[in-house]
Amino acid sequence: MARITERVGDIFDSPPNSILIHACNTKGSWGAGVAAAFKKYSPAAFNYQKYHCTTPTGPSTSLAAYQKSLVGTCLLISPFPAVETLNFKHRTPAKPTTQQVEKKYWIACLFTSSGYGKNVDTPSAILDATKRATADLREQIRERRIRIQQNEQMKERYEKSLQQNGDHVDTRRLLAICEEETEVMGECYSVRINSGLFGVPWVETKRVLNGGLLDMVIVRPASQKDEVVESDHDDDLYAGQLHHQKENSTKTVKGAERGQEEKRNRIEEEEPIAGATQSGSMNKGVKRKNGEGDGAEEKSKKNRGGGKQTKLNFGKSK
């Protein structure tokens, strides 16, 4: 089980060489929410992931199919200057900010939804993609740390070769590659992924993260409500919160069902009255059609009343 802790602050104030995690769509858009803050912080990282999302791996692969295949994966971007020196076609890498020079971060893009806005994936699909993407990130971190260790050894070998055999162009080039691949890799820091524009309750995403194997620190701004009990492994508390949410949801649904049932009952009660009224109106219409009117009805009532009175009088005389 992963260790997930939370604290209040700014994710860009994390220790140098940390891995900053956020959730992305596979269209390469960082236009709103936390993604926009990452784009502002590192335009080069945005260019890198944009190129990654819009360039299919094979000529026979359609862009739509390729972007769909990215869901549930992670793109781990090296910190400046490795990212800034990449030569992208039809785009110029942006100059690093002062903060980037002072604090170099790895940026991990978790592709948890294929679309965004009205086309965002369902919460269940996003949670499933989150589980797979974090597992992918953990494996990439493991492989990268092994590579960094190997490059450190190669770096020492090339430096020793330069000292013993003198300067050589190929050795210098290989040494430069090793230096770029030996960036220190710190701990993972993340925002409350999926809880913003993707609309997934944070308590559900945190449960998925807790069930994984990737430790991370969740950084939230002071303005964001502390909706979740800040506990690492207290499953009972999380279960209680989910049960409370389920109860509220059930009450809402039952209330709506009762309202619909009452409405149906009212309609059923009104239908016989309306039917009787309609029947009476139809009978009156028939009578009028046969030449009988209100006067005929009154005459009939008088005759019935007269017959009744005669019966009474006859009884008395007898």
Closest of 57, 64, 58, 93 to residue 77, by C-alpha = 93
Whether pTM exceeds 0.75: no
pLDDT higher at 298 or 145: 145
C-alpha 302/C-alpha 284 separation (Å) is: 19
Mean pLDDT to the nearest integer, 208-231:
82
C-alpha 103/C-alpha 218 separation (Å) is: 19
pLDDT of residue 164: 81
pLDDT higher at 204 or 286: 204
Is it the case that residue 269 has pLDDT exceeding 90?
Answer: no
Structure confidence at residue 228 as a pLDDT band (50, 70, 90): very low
Structure confidence at residue 190 as a pLDDT band (50, 70, 90): very high
Mean pLDDT to the nearest integer, 98-123:
85
Residue range 29-66, pLDDT digits in tens: 999 999 999 999 888 889 889 999 999 987 778 999 99
pLDDT of residue 110: 98
Is it the case that residue 171 has pLDDT exceeding 60?
Answer: yes
Is it the case that residue 123 has pLDDT exceeding 70?
Answer: yes
pLDDT of residue 37: 94
pLDDT of residue 175: 74
- Torsion 193-197-203-204 (CA) sign: negative
Burial 102-140 (b: 16+ CB within 10 A, else e): ebbbbbbbbbbbbebeeebbebebbbbbbbbbbbbbbeb
Structure confidence at residue 112 as a pLDDT band (50, 70, 90): very high
pLDDT higher at 237 or 104: 104
